Amino acid sequence: MNSNLSFQLSIVFDNKCVEEGFLPGFGFSVLIYNFSSQDYLLFDTGGNSKTLLHNISKLNVDISRIKKVIISHNHSDHAGGLEGIYKLNPNIEIYVPIANLIPYKKAFFESKVYGISELTIIGKNLYSSGQFGQHSTKEQALFLRTKNNEIIIIVGCAHPGLEKFILEAQKLYKITAIIGGFHGFDKFSYLNGVNVIGACHCTKHIKLIREQFPNQYQRICVGNSFLF
């Protein structure tokens, strides 16, 4: 195995684009293999368990190999599939914004549930951005640190504003990739210097992003895998 590899990202839930054999559904989820710790984590869980479990099974990954689940925010298109993962593998660590800690602890009492407030190391080369958002919806993003000391941002819906997560990640290292839902984000100058822009799910301005960053824009489909 190539020892220079840091992460493999496989899209297992999205509503914009789906490869043959995979199922579509409204929501977002990425299955991540961490080459450093040699285990899997899941970022968000899409809108329902059935679609999520089908898409993960298509990648031949056993649910028992998933050690951590990061829930970006408590909307059903991101947390809807968690129950199905939990039923098959309650022995997981679940990371939620601290605002959502108590209901998740109750619902997933067999798992270790952690509430995140600040930028936090949650595993080898893994960080939570910390909880952002001024109103009722609190959200965290996932930062993956590559072996070249660059950051991949995985983001759910970016309700607090994608630039909040970008600014937080920039405190650590240079950002090489951003993948996920950008919501209404239009402050495109924040994307300058980012090599891979994988805007999907709820991104309102995909067309503009593709036009402004034709070489950086990456189409994201369920069933696609990306190596870093």
- Binding region for Zn ion (CB under 5 A): 75, 77, 157, 202
Long-range CB contacts (< 8 A, 24+ apart) of 92-96?
92/66, 92/67, 92/68, 93/67, 93/68, 93/69, 93/122, 94/68, 94/69, 95/68, 95/69, 95/70, 95/71, 95/122, 95/128, 95/140, 96/71, 96/140
Closer to Zn ion at the Cβ: 68 or 201? 201
Q: How far apart are CA 51 and CA 58, in angstroms?
A: 11
Nearest distance in Å: CB 78, Zn ion: 6
Q: Which of 126, 124, 86 is nearest to 106 (CA)?
A: 86
Closer to Zn ion at the Cβ: 32 or 202? 202
Nearest distance in Å: CB 27, Zn ion: 6
Nearest distance in Å: CB 179, Zn ion: 14
Side chain identity at 100, as an amino acid letter? N
Q: Which of 4, 21, 13, 5 is nearest to 179 (CA)?
A: 13
H or E segment and range at residue 53: helix 49-58
Closer to Zn ion at the Cβ: 18 or 157? 157
For residue 205, give every residue at least 6 positions away whose Cβ sits within 8 Å of its Cβ, in sequence order, or none. 182, 184, 185, 186, 199
Nearest distance in Å: CB 174, Zn ion: 27
Residue 218 near residue 50, CB atoms below 8 Å? no
Closer to Zn ion at the Cβ: 13 or 143? 13
Closer to Zn ion at the Cβ: 30 or 125? 30
Nearest distance in Å: CB 212, Zn ion: 23
Residue 96 near residue 137, CB atoms below 8 Å? no
Closer to Zn ion at the Cβ: 77 or 150? 77
Closer to Zn ion at the Cβ: 68 or 75? 75
Nearest distance in Å: CB 167, Zn ion: 20
Nearest distance in Å: CB 183, Zn ion: 8
β-strand partners of 66:
40
